[in-house]
Chains A and B, each alone.
Chain A
Amino acid sequence: MKYLMLIAIAFPVVWGACLPFLRFEETDRSSRNKYALTGALITSALVFVNVFNFKSNDGFQLIQLTNKMSIVFDIDALSCVFLCMIAVLWPLAVLYAWEYMHHEGRENKFFSFYLMTYGIVIGLACSANLVTFYLLYECLTFATIPLVMHAMDRRAIKAGRKYFMYSIAGAATAFVGIMFLVEYGTSLDFVYGGTLDLVKIGSQQNLILLGYILTFFGFGVKAAVFPFHGWLPSAGVAPTPVTALLHAVAVVKAGVFAIMRVTYYSFGAAFLAGTWAQSIVLGFACFTIVFGSVCAWKQQHLKKRFAYSTISNLSYILLGVGMMCPEGLAAGLAHMLIHGIMKICLFFCVGVVMEKTHREYVPEIEGMGKVMPVTFGCFTIGALSLSGIPLFAGFISKAALGTASVSSGLPLGLVGLCALLISAVLTAAYTFEIVIKAFFPSKGFNTRTLCEFKDPTWQMKTPLIVLSVLMILIGLHGTELMNLLSKIAMNLL
């Protein structure tokens, strides 16, 4: 069983790395696409096998670096949540990329890195201690830079460089925080409740909290916490499959996941609850929620609008995590999953518009609902869900977050509630503006100017429809999901 985990991590890396050596002709799209999808599907299958067979404390030590540090992989309940999310979304994104990447070119390189990233993210989810996690976190940055810079024009290279600088600086900051754990913790392993050694700490509580804040903001760079969010909107120059999967799900949620790990599994929620560190976390999360939404509302570029929306929504998760209680963690996990589904769907829809019509700005999509009914139908479902309308998935997590922030009893919890509600209104404003524009063009608009555009082929439609159906199903029946997540958050699995 232990080896199965390692295979799941190594397989996509090897499979992806082999792709350039198989010498697919750039024009031989069909066999390369099938190769990539097969890889993603096999990996997802492996991941699910691992998830369904997981036993706690079934770790696998790969390398012993020093007495204190080793590379260890182990799946626990929290990993499972992350693994399930990416295992569902990755093959869909690859399928979507089949058609999308046609006009972007250099598909060999793209799919190669795309698959390798998959393996790294799985490794990240399975990391059993901070050293392993940190290693793979850095790997993730390196593996995704070629994807961000895919277009290789000046804008893309600049964005890639920015992304790189932010990420490395963030990781370095987090590393400083980790050093505090080395010094004052019993080990670097992830143990629910934390590994701090209270005897060693003595009266130096504030120092440790400072360490936590450093890790929070360090990992918070990938989670796009204000003021370290700047890289995310710029990285929107990447091809849509990258923006949708990596910059709405895998990479940014690796940052969130890191914060979950250090908060609940390294420093320990009990140690942090009620301290000034918690106030800082909550304060920045609240501010980022509103800030992201306002920026999204003002932004006219479609992809950038949703990039800012991602910034806001990531902080929803951090708000839940920052409650430092199981209820908050469960709500955060729920939003992590559900936001992944919603945002990838919205990005895919936007990607369809960009690929089919080469239009990138909100005013330009006027009247397109008529010629692309499936795309904008799915977009509408995504919009309803993201705004948190009941019967759609987004409401489930929003309700959990709202209840958690009130029941925490913290004054900042109520501020968080206000932030959530304000952001919900702004979300409705910036998503429905697009829906209205697409379905209700203003009087005198000539629909014939759009007659050359139509819905994409099945490869692009399938992910949209699958994700929309998922949103509705979770929205109508989230009982099992929420029960499972709250068990996970209380460490009962």
Chain B
Amino acid sequence: MLGYFLGLVLFPMLSGVLCLVPAFKDDRKRNLFVAAVLGLNFVFVLLSFMQEGAFELLHLTDHLALRFMFDGAGRFFLLLSGLMFLMVGIYSFEYMSHEHNRPRFYLFYLLTLGALNGVCLSGNYMTLYCFFELMSLLSMPLVLHSQTNESIAAAKKYLLYSVFGASLGLGGFFLFTVYGGSTAFVAGGVVADALHHPLQLSSDLLFQRNMLLIGAFLAIVGFGAKAGMMPLHAWLPTAHPVAPACASAVLSGVITKAGVLAILRVVYFLYGSNFLVDTWVQYAWVTLILLTVLVGSTLAYKEKILKKRLAYSSVSQVSYVLFGLAGLNAWSLTGALLHAAAHSMIKDVLFMSAGSIIMHGHTERADRIDGMGRKMPMTFACITVASLGLIGIPPLFGYISKWYLCTGALMTYRNFFSWLGPVVLLISALLTAGYLFTLTINGYLKNETAESDAHEAGALMLLPMVILCALIVICGLAPKLVMQLIEFINTIA
């Protein structure tokens, strides 16, 4: 297992550092090297499917250990991030050719991948927090890559939000270590059964229970910052427009999912769904989520800057995933994880397309793309497929997850959330259609504006987009493929 840990965490990081050696000054050589590293990483991810179990790497102190584990949840997110980093990596070779300081970009790209893999492999709260912080710090230079004043300010904002979120998560950690016991992740949670029913508790135990609930809420809000959950969502629309498209793609497609995974770990592997079900934590959480879904979609609908629109869209869509997590049962959780996968693929395609439009269509605005579809047919075809998926049109991948999410909500809640949830999701789906379809319609059907010199993106940029679109279709037609990967949920919820 140590070998896999080294392969998945240290190998990408060290390779990232290697990008700086003079031999890789040449773009071609470096790109080949990066592609090889990303490919190897993906192979490692696949190989790690044969691993199961946990080990402790080292003890920082007696109470703080770096523990790693290989289990279904980690694997699912590993696979997701491995695939997306590979695809976006291939895309970036062409996209980054017009950006400066490329070796540094790949340095932090690979460092981020290593840290992200670390998040996926974390076997206890401390390790999760550790890699979460590292990931935030190491992905920050991706945001400020262009080094304009605007992007530096955005990077600082990103860092501040991430650190604040992680800090809340750390608060949850302290509360859990003192009142909850061991923080190693165990499927189904580790909180004692005695604490589950508030009515039968003595005042001491009630205090303990309340402290644990506060801890859970802190962790959810804190790690939710990465997942773009309100009230800590504001970094997304600031950071995404200024970052290079490939950085936005991984930030939005994958790194937001690290927030989802962190919450999944805390909720299902520490507290346990039975402990949190029907508590104020669940309801407060769902309220925040629904608010985020609605506000995100509305702002996306009104936004004219393309990447900012997509960022708001991420705010809203990742909260779909969280909505499933908050259901605290296997059915909703299925929806959540399916939507996590779907949103990763779709949002990556959308951000990559936005990158091609910026690079080859020379505009950042969604209202300046009239008629561009005729000059960039493939790009707009990808946008169309992805949009249909995100809106949830069958048989594309986004449909099945939404179905699970809505039916899950109807089954889960015994109060007004059971209908409010699905209603909000439907309204948001309409808004999604509103803000994404206009791209397709304007791109294909409207008349061209004058003197547009747009042209189609190169093969290296199109290839990953097309592959992901194909996956969206395939997974939509045969959701069983993904369902097999998330069978582990039966053991945790």
Contact = CB atoms under 8 A, between A and B. Distances in A.
Interface of A: 384, 387, 389-391, 395-396, 399-400, 402-403, 405-407, 417-418, 421-422, 424-425, 428-429, 432-433, 436, 440-443, 475-479, 481-483
Interface string B128-170: 0110011001001100101111001001100110011001101
Nearest to A423: B167
A251 B370 CA distance: 69
Given A421-B168, A443-B148, A403 B137 contact: no
A402 B141 contact: no
A240 to B, nearest CB: 27
A442 B153 CA distance: 10
A440 B141 contact: yes
Interface stretch (B82-90, B172-180, B313-321): B172-180
A48 B127 CA distance: 36
A218 B126 CA distance: 39
Contacts of B167: 421-422, 424-425
Contacts of B59: 477, 479
B130 A402 contact: no
Contact of B62 (A390, A421, A432, A482): A482
B156 A479 contact: no
A476 B175 CA distance: 23
B64 interface: yes
A389 B147 contact: no
Nearest to B163: A428
A425 B164 contact: yes
B23 interface: no
Given A425-B164, A428-B159, A428-B163, A403 B177 contact: yes
B459 interface: no
Closest 3 CB pairs of A and B: A390-B130, A402-B174, A482-B61
Contact count band on B: 35 or more
Contacts of A481: 61
Nearest to B101: A440
A431 B102 CA distance: 26
Contacts, number: 103
B223 to A, nearest CB: 14
Nearest to A418: B171
Contact of A436 (B63, B130, B144, B173): B144
B50 interface: no
Given A396-B64, A477-B58, A479-B60, A421 B147 contact: no
A389 B60 CA distance: 12
B145 to A, nearest CB: 9
11 contacts: A387-B163, A390-B64, A390-B129, A396-B60, A399-B174, A406-B174, A418-B171, A440-B147, A443-B146, A443-B147, A479-B59
B62 A428 contact: no
B126 A436 contact: no
Given A428-B163, A436-B155, A442-B148, A403 B174 contact: yes
Interface of B: 58-64, 126, 129-130, 133-134, 137, 140-141, 144, 146-149, 152, 155-156, 159-160, 163-164, 167-168, 170-171, 173-175, 177-179, 211
Contacts of B164: 425
A333 to B, nearest CB: 13
Given A389-B137, A442-B152, A443-B146, A395 B60 contact: yes
B60 A436 contact: no
Given A403-B63, A477-B58, A479-B61, A429 B160 contact: yes
Given A442-B149, A477-B60, A421 B171 contact: yes
Contacts of B144: 436, 440
B152 A436 contact: yes
Contacts of B133: 389-390
A472 to B, nearest CB: 12
A441 B168 contact: no
Contacts of A390: 60, 64, 126, 129-130, 133
Contacts of A425: 160, 163-164, 167
A396 B59 CA distance: 11
A10 B262 CA distance: 56
A432 B159 contact: yes
Contact of B60 (A422, A432, A476): A476
A479 B156 CA distance: 34
Contacts of B134: 389, 391
Given A391-B130, A406-B174, A476 B148 contact: no
A71 to B, nearest CB: 38
Contacts of A432: 137, 156, 159
A403 B126 CA distance: 13
Contacts of B160: 425, 428-429
Given A399-B61, A406-B178, A443-B146, 4 more contacts: A406-B179, A418-B171, A436-B155, A475-B60
Nearest to A481: B61
A428 B167 CA distance: 11
Contacts of A476: 58, 60
A245 to B, nearest CB: 27
A443 B152 CA distance: 10
A207 to B, nearest CB: 34
Contacts of B146: 443
A395 B160 CA distance: 18
B5 to A, nearest CB: 15
B130 A403 contact: no
B214 to A, nearest CB: 9
A436 B149 CA distance: 12
A440 B152 contact: yes
Contacts of A389: 130, 133-134, 137
